[in-house]
Amino acid sequence: MSRRPEPRRMIIGGEEAVVVAPEEYERLATTRRQVGAQGARIRVLKHELQHALALLTAVESLLADVPHGRPGPPFDGGGGGDAGHPAASCVRCGLLELIHRRPSAGTRGGLTAL
């Protein structure tokens, strides 16, 4: 591995300053803009995640009113099993299971298409 170059330092007006070449300054400015854009994207994703969690909480509270024992439609339960297999004998229980399932590697949010 190559060694990181030490920056050139100067004293200007009694203050220490670091001197960089114009090309290096442009690279630093570009990196700073990229980091700023990533920070903005993270804030948007955080807001979207909070919205999704609030939506799941609302769905969960609505499911509390669905009676137990209502047979569910055929679906793979989000686990990638045999399509058309009745994964839940109760709609309420099946949906709650999907909501509480932890994401697994290779799936988007731990769910597959119903």
CA–CA distance, 91 with 66 (Å, rounded to integer): 8
Picking from 49, 91, 53, the residue whose alpha carbon sits closest to that of residue 70 is 91
Query: pLDDT value at position 111?
Result: 47
Q: Give mean pLDDT, residues 8-28.
A: 91
Query: pLDDT value at position 35?
Result: 94
Residue 113 one-letter amino acid: A
Q: 89 Cβ partners below 8 Å, 6+ apart? A: 69, 71, 72
Query: pLDDT value at position 59?
Result: 83
pLDDT tens per residue across span 36-90: 999 999 999 999 999 988 888 888 887 777 777 666 555 555 555 444 445 456 7
Q: Give mean pLDDT, residues 82-107.
A: 64
- CB-based contact 112:80 (threshold 8 Å): yes
Query: pLDDT value at position 88?
Result: 54
